[in-house]
Structure 1
Amino acid sequence: MQFPESWLRSFCNPPLSTTELAETLTMAGLEVEELRPGAPPFSGVVVGEIKEAVQHPDADRLRVCQVDVGQGALLNIVCGAPNARPGIKVPCALVGAELPPGPDGKPFRIKTSKLRGVESQGMLCSARELQLSDDHGGLLELAPDAPVGQDVRVWLNLDDTLFTLKLTPNLAHCLSVYGVARELSALTGAPLQPLAFPSVPVGCTDKLPVQVLAPDLCGRFSGRIVRNVNTRAQTPQWMVDRLARCGQRSVSPLVDISNYVMFELGRPSHIFDLDKIHGDLEVRWGRPGEQLKLLNGNTVSVDEKVGVIADAQGVESLAGIMGGDATAVSDATRNIYIEAAFWWPKAVAGRSRRYNFATDAGHRFERGVDPEHTVEHIERITQLVLDICGTPETVCGPIDDQRVRMPVRQPVRLRVARACKVLGMPLTQAQCSEALARLGLEVTPKNTPDATPDAADGGILEVVPPSYRFDLAIEEDLIEEVARMVGYQRLPTTPPLAPVTPRVAPETQRSPFAVRRALAALGYQETINFSFVEECWEQELAGNTQPIRLLNPIASQMSVMRSSLLGSLLQVLRFNLDRKAQRVRVFELGRVFLRDASVPDSDRTVAGVHQPMRVAGLAYGLVDRLQWGQKAREVDFFDVKGDVQALLAPFEADFEPAEHPAMHPGRCARVLLGGQAIGFIGELHPRWCQGWELPQAPQLFELELEAVLQRPLPQARPVARQQPVERDLAVVVAEGVTFAQVQAAITAAIAPNLLQAVVLFDVYKPQAQSARDGTAAAAGVSGVRPGEKSLAVRITLAREGATLTEAEIDAAMQAAVAELARRLKARLRA
């Protein structure tokens, strides 16, 4: 919220400098985000009156003006403004004056000069030349009563400071200049200028019938008819200036009056063109199919969740948000209807976002506007209408005030002992009562029988919030108010006295940061993505047909919570490919959200939602950057498998064929650790490659983070004195047999105290033979028939503390061959 300091001080003027005033507001929770001057620096500019303006003898667009600046003699000034004419008062920069700096940052100094042979003894200024606005269509015309010769900065009150407050939602009562002044008076003790709303004379009995059909939308509705107003009148300069310094441009007298009262008192209101209203008004919820063209030119559709004001022909206004174009006032308006209402905050909240715009009125109503002073504020608006737009024929009707369902102010109890405990400082009941009373709250002591009025351990205060405080509902709200009035700077700095016991992480578990470093060492870069994703990602990439939906998504394409990290990584890949990236390695540690009815509701969990952490990675493009030492090769399944093995080391993971909705059916594996499935690894499904418009398929993996964090406890072993024995074994098996099956058979056949390792080092498959060669010939050459393959493994044997004998080695190898034959129908390769 922005406003000028002078307007604030007209209501409450404490003996504080501008800086001290800003500090006082900030320390009370009304953060002053910015202080800036009301006008740029310039000097030597006074009020001048043009006495004569004649055509320049040698220039069609220039005039030679005689200007009175209060020095006795008239100044001869050449001016090219189209509105330079006798009788007007304008800013006149005297010789030696300094105008605001230009684009180069240097001030512009006025000197005596000649323009087309005529001497000019100064400069007549436009608003743009003084940097007061962007208007450069002519000279800035001042009010007729402006004193000639007076400094323009003094006359226009330009030595003012603009305050910009950054208010939290609970400070809605400070969304007006008077509301801030009320807080300032409570903080400093400076007197607050009382408001007076004298009733204007009623000259007719006309009333516009209004029916409030939705008490849950509108709690109070007040309105008045005013006839025969002059909408072509000019908004007074003082009002234009104040609105401009609040960041609001002048539109028309009636609109300016409504905006002015909103900034002054925090009361949004609306002025209808009475002659454009058809029949009676209804205040109700919208109906499906109804449409309204708004004042901003947009046409919106309403439904039963949006409040409206309607007449006999249709919707005329969005309740508490914006008026309609059909009943807007214009220069042709003669009769008006002034409306001020109390709209329930919950009935207005979020409605503007449905239409992708925000208004000052909606911003205030959804936080709460005082319901008790609608009549008084209509009186204020009416008086301004009479002062600015009134004519001898102007008459006002009586105010029609309907109190349908007003908020009930519920008392809130404050325990002084509780306030002391929360704030960490000693307070008496008298201090708390005085602080709350300064804010205009009704405070009643409710002491226990054995407590004294000032007992910090037994005092209880019952507080009734005023009608403009919608934020005071629980005890903690009152404690906050006490802290603001006492002063946050007075809260003691007390170090914690509780014993602190460090939590030492177990040696068998590493931190998530270690996982991040390990993946970074493998060449991956970390990404951070939203936890809410597109619904189609869940169905296509995770096979999740019932994702957890968001009640209020920030965007339509982010409507569900993710159950997999793969979609987020593919989006990152697509983003990089659109920017011509050739090689992408990314990973993410993030939380996923799964439906699980067994999860209870607690301080760390949400009922029915399991939220485990996962780590996922994506590799795309070349295995390594282009270089001369090796040929370029695209990353494949086994490259990423190696990265996963390095990440899980020293644990040895098992991989078995599997299927995953996001991955290629024949190029996907389930990752097992200790027999437990911990995730998947594989190539992206061709269908999704086409859907994401990827030139080639990326390799993906997604693992449970809890499993990745596990680490075995290191154990010391002596260096073996006996050297291990290595034996190579080549077996012929069916083409569908995997090395994992071969390894399992060998492990089962050889005693654990003998077997150290089984490593695959060669795979052979016969090439397709021509029909005339024959199967027998092919088998005779390699010993491997079509539909078979040869796997060559190296078996390492060793026994601790003793050397293996040839007999033991042969027995182990024969047992391995026999088990392979029994399990897999394998045979030794010829």
Structure 2
Amino acid sequence: MQFPESWLREFCNPPISTDQLAELLTMAGLEVEEMQPVAPPFSGIVVAEILEAVQHPNADKLRVCKVDAGAASPGGPLQIVCGAPNARVGIRVPLAMVGAELPPGEDGKPFKIGVGKLRGVDSFGMLCSARELKLSEDHGGLLELPAGTPLGISIRDALKLDDTLFTLKLTPNLAHNLSVLGIAREVSALTGAPLNMPVFTPVKPTHDDNVPVRIEATDLCGRWAGRVVHGVDPKATTPAWIVDRLARCGQRSVSPLVDISNYVMFELGRPSHIFDHAKIHDELVIRWAKPGETLKLLNGNTVELDEKVGVVADSAGPESLAGIMGGDASAVSDDTTSVYVEAAFWWPAAVAGRSRRFNFSTDAGHRFERGVDAETIPAHVERITQLILDICGGRAGPLNDVVAKLPERKPVTLRVARAAKVIGMPVTQEECAGVMKRLGLACTEGEGTITVTPPSWRFDLQIEEDLIEEVIRVLGFGRLPDTPPVAPVTARVRLESSRSTHAVRRAVAALDYQETINFSFVEARWEHELAGNPDPIKVLNPIAAPLAVMRSGLVGSLVQILRNNLARKAPRVRIFEIGRVFSRDASVASTLTSVAGVSQPLRVGGLAWGPVDQLQWGEAERNVDFFDVKGDVEQLLAPRAVRFVAAEHPAMHPGRCAAAIVDGQAIGHVGEFHPRWRQAYELPTAPIVFELDLAAVQARDVPQAQALPRQQAARRDLALVVKEDVRHDVLMAALRDDATGLVRSATLFDVYRPKADAADFAAGERSLAVRLELLSDDATLTDEIIDAAVAAAIARATAACGARLRA
């Protein structure tokens, strides 16, 4: 909400400075997000009138003007050389006198005006455009002032440029402050300064024409008021004071009728709409739209409607989107001579979220979905009507006020003792009642209680805590004492068998990965291709069209980060993310931390691309491969034992992908990016990616004390011949599965693939060199015991994998 301070002070003018006013509003919950002057500093610029404008003798695009600056130029008219195309006799414009300082330029220094000579003609000053004064970007000519502007006065006084623009960042419960009057009401309550409430005298009807209105959907519209005004002039000029105030509220001038509607919205918080009366067919019906209906809006978009969207329709079909935007078919134009002015109460729940369905938002919808006063509709229509008559002329008809269903204002009771407990300082019943009266809230007092009936403009007062908030807001947060917490603070001790998310983050970062943070909503293509998810959870109101679904995996986000880095010529990329993923799961129930039917686990994912290490002299450069990232995953999970089993993943190479197995459970995958997607996503080489369940990564084994072995371990190397399709993990499991417990480890240290004509090898066989470590806690191993254990291990490998000793 943006507004000028001067407009606010017309309604309520407390004896405090601008900075104090900003502090007051912020501490009352109306955060002042920005303050900026209406105009930059400049001086010596006054109002002048052009008395004469003749062609420059030596330049086609220059004119020699005689200007009257009134009392600012006691020596009479000044000669000014000007090149503006609109420099003509009779207009009043800003004049920078000799010695004046224009606003600072890009170097931060003001530009000082002196006596100049342009093509041989002296110029005693400069006539200014709005851009030269940095009032706007308009540089089409001189800034023309109203004809009645007094000559010789400072342009700052003439245009009220010594003003400040406030920008408030309002929370959704403060919708009653979405107008200058609403903010003035707050300032009056906070400071005790009187509030100048506007009074609107009803317009006397001069004809009997009206538009029949029927409210079919009372859950959409509770009240509607409107009237017909004949004989308006849509080409009239909007008064400068309205144009200026709209501009200072961030709204550009469009046409007098639109400007009047916008002005009253900023002034009173009342969105309204003005129809071209001649374009309304028969009656107006307020109803829910019918499936398949379409409506071309004022912004030029044609939207398809359904039964969840409210419309104002006539016999020809929908004419406007209820509470959001008018339709193009009934819009006023330069040919309009008769208008229908309406204001209505739309139920907030019937408007909320509707404009976002069509990917736009409006000031009207922003207000209606938070709640707009239903009681002041007739008075505000009178205000709009009077402005139309004053600016555009015309003859007003009778006001048609249709009341269907108004919001029920249920009383809310405040317990003074509870207010003191929640606020954290003593408050009296007298103070609480005083706050309610200052806010204009009707209340009755009981023994230790105050019962408030919320007024029509306060939709946020529904429970006791809402009233408690009002008490401390008005009394002032500065009154709160510096009281230490009473409740004991007990640290929650994390179990030793679990490490924190931050510890996991540090562990991955220690492996030379950099953390990234990505949106949880992604492109549908990523889900279909990289997650194998044909039915992802869709986002109802995406912040951008591509980001339309919730992710069920992290790989897509990481690949996109890689592409961004490659576009910037990054030579080496190692990134990770810890984030939540989303998938459908009917077994999930709705709780405080979950949504029914949606699984939301946390995952940790990583991606490595490019050289395995930074460029250096001590080691030859090579690209990262599957085994490098597999080692990173092992180190991340250490000291827990992890097995890797060949598996498939939609985003990974079908022959270079493995599932990570811990305690018999698959906790994720690691593998090379799929060649098809490497080409589709335009990657020069395939990255290596991994994605693991965060809960499994956080779990860790508690160290157990173990005595040092009294005996020395024995080691035996075996060369086992197996088929090419024998998996490493199956062979190792068979060798380690020793019932006697003597085989403590089995480690593969060499692989030999013979030539085609090698003896002792059949086609498709290879030799695996394995080192066995044997140890007994109780006795020294003899050769007989060792040979028996090795023979038993070979037998197990033969039974499980068809292995045999190499000759």
Shorter-chain TM-score tier: over 0.9
5+ residue gaps in structure 2? none
Alignment of 1:674-823 (within 5 A): 674-715=663-704, 720=709, 722-749=711-738, 751-752=740-741, 754-769=742-757, 778=758, 781=759, 783-800=760-777, 802-823=779-800
Deviations 1:140-193 (A, max 9, x none): 333333222222222222212222211111111111111111111111111111
Distance 2:627 2:661 in 1: 16
State which of 172, 181, 184 in structure 1 corresponds to 2:184.
Answer: 181
CA contact (8 A) 2:221 2:404 kept: yes
Match in the other structure for 1:772: none
- State the AA in 2 paired with 1:468: W
The alpha carbon displacement at 1:631 in A equals: 4.5
**Cα pair distance change 1:723/1:309, threshold 3 Å:** same
Q: Helix, strand or coil: the match of 2:737?
A: helix
**Cα pair distance change 1:209/1:490, threshold 3 Å:** same
**Cα pair distance change 1:274/1:575, threshold 3 Å:** same
Moved more, 100-109 or 428-437: 100-109
Distance 1:237 1:556 in 2: 41
State which of 292, 303, 309 in structure 2 corresponds to 1:300.
Answer: 303
The alpha carbon displacement at 1:246 in A equals: 1.6
Deviations 1:683-739 (A, max 9, x none): 344444454444444333332323322333334556556543222122223333334
Q: Helix, strand or coil: the match of 2:298?
A: coil
The alpha carbon displacement at 1:343 in A equals: 1.6
Alignment of 1:63 with 2:40, yes or no, is no
Alignment of 1:74-223 (within 5 A): 74-80=76-82, 81-223=84-226
**Cα pair distance change 1:680/1:102, threshold 3 Å:** closer
The alpha carbon displacement at 1:405 in A equals: 1.9
Distance 1:55 1:687 in 2: 73
RMSD over equivalenced CA pairs, Å? 2.7
**Cα pair distance change 1:819/1:129, threshold 3 Å:** closer
Moved more, 736-745 or 490-499: 736-745
CA contact (8 A) 1:689 1:697 kept: yes
**Cα pair distance change 1:437/1:787, threshold 3 Å:** same
The alpha carbon displacement at 1:292 in A equals: 3.4
Q: Helix, strand or coil: the match of 1:262?
A: helix
The alpha carbon displacement at 1:635 in A equals: 3.3
5+ residue gaps in structure 1? 448-452, 454-458, 770-777
CA contact (8 A) 1:682 1:700 kept: yes
The alpha carbon displacement at 1:10 in A equals: 0.9
Distance 1:690 1:745 in 2: 40
Match in the other structure for 1:515: 504
Alignment of 1:580-729 (within 5 A): 580-715=569-704, 720=709, 722-729=711-718
Distance 1:383 1:333 in 2: 18
State which of 263, 273, 278 in structure 1 corresponds to 2:276.
Answer: 273
- State the AA in 1 paired with 2:629: V
- State the AA in 1 paired with 2:11: F
CA contact (8 A) 1:46 1:69 kept: no
Distance 1:606 1:282 in 2: 39
Distance 2:125 2:556 in 1: 69
Moved more, 167-176 or 249-258: 249-258
Alignment of 1:415 with 2:412, yes or no, is no
CA contact (8 A) 2:736 2:744 kept: no
Distance 1:25 1:418 in 2: 26
The alpha carbon displacement at 1:73 in A equals: 3.5
Alignment of 1:572 with 2:561, yes or no, is yes
**Cα pair distance change 1:785/1:360, threshold 3 Å:** same
Match in the other structure for 2:258: 255
Match in the other structure for 1:325: 328
Distance 1:632 1:57 in 2: 77
Distance 1:531 1:181 in 2: 41
CA contact (8 A) 1:77 1:124 kept: no
Deviations 1:382-420 (A, max 9, x none): 111222222xxx321101111122211122222222222
**Cα pair distance change 1:667/1:424, threshold 3 Å:** same
Distance 1:225 1:767 in 2: 99
- State the AA in 2 paired with 1:701: F
The alpha carbon displacement at 1:9 in A equals: 1.0
CA contact (8 A) 2:96 2:125 kept: yes
**Cα pair distance change 1:357/1:605, threshold 3 Å:** closer
- State the AA in 1 paired with 2:755: Q
Q: Name the TM-score, length of structure 1 as normaliser.
A: 0.90
The alpha carbon displacement at 1:40 in A equals: 1.9
Q: Name the TM-score, length of structure 2 as normaliser.
A: 0.93
Match in the other structure for 1:775: none
Q: Helix, strand or coil: the match of 2:109?
A: coil
Moved more, 194-203 or 542-551: 542-551
Distance 1:155 1:631 in 2: 76
The alpha carbon displacement at 1:66 in A equals: 4.4
Distance 1:609 1:53 in 2: 76
Match in the other structure for 2:481: 492
Distance 1:823 1:350 in 2: 63
**Cα pair distance change 1:764/1:125, threshold 3 Å:** closer
- State the AA in 1 paired with 2:284: L
The alpha carbon displacement at 1:551 in A equals: 4.8
**Cα pair distance change 1:462/1:617, threshold 3 Å:** same
Match in the other structure for 1:450: none
CA contact (8 A) 1:67 1:77 kept: no
**Cα pair distance change 1:138/1:561, threshold 3 Å:** closer
Q: Helix, strand or coil: the match of 2:460?
A: coil
**Cα pair distance change 1:73/1:494, threshold 3 Å:** same
Distance 1:117 1:543 in 2: 79
Deviations 1:487-506 (A, max 9, x none): 11112222112222323333
Alignment of 1:336 with 2:339, yes or no, is yes
CA contact (8 A) 1:52 1:67 kept: no
Alignment of 1:34 with 2:51, yes or no, is no
The alpha carbon displacement at 1:433 in A equals: 1.8
Distance 2:534 2:271 in 1: 46
- State the AA in 2 paired with 1:362: G
CA contact (8 A) 1:583 1:620 kept: yes
The alpha carbon displacement at 1:378 in A equals: 1.2
Match in the other structure for 1:467: 456
Distance 2:132 2:720 in 1: 94
CA contact (8 A) 2:40 2:103 kept: yes
Percent of aligned positions with the same letter in both sequences?
64
**Cα pair distance change 1:314/1:148, threshold 3 Å:** same
**Cα pair distance change 1:67/1:57, threshold 3 Å:** farther
Moved more, 199-208 or 584-593: 584-593
**Cα pair distance change 1:826/1:327, threshold 3 Å:** closer
Alignment of 1:476 with 2:497, yes or no, is no
CA contact (8 A) 2:2 2:250 kept: yes
Distance 1:360 1:299 in 2: 19
**Cα pair distance change 1:439/1:628, threshold 3 Å:** same
CA contact (8 A) 1:50 1:68 kept: no
**Cα pair distance change 1:35/1:228, threshold 3 Å:** same
The alpha carbon displacement at 1:544 in A equals: 4.5
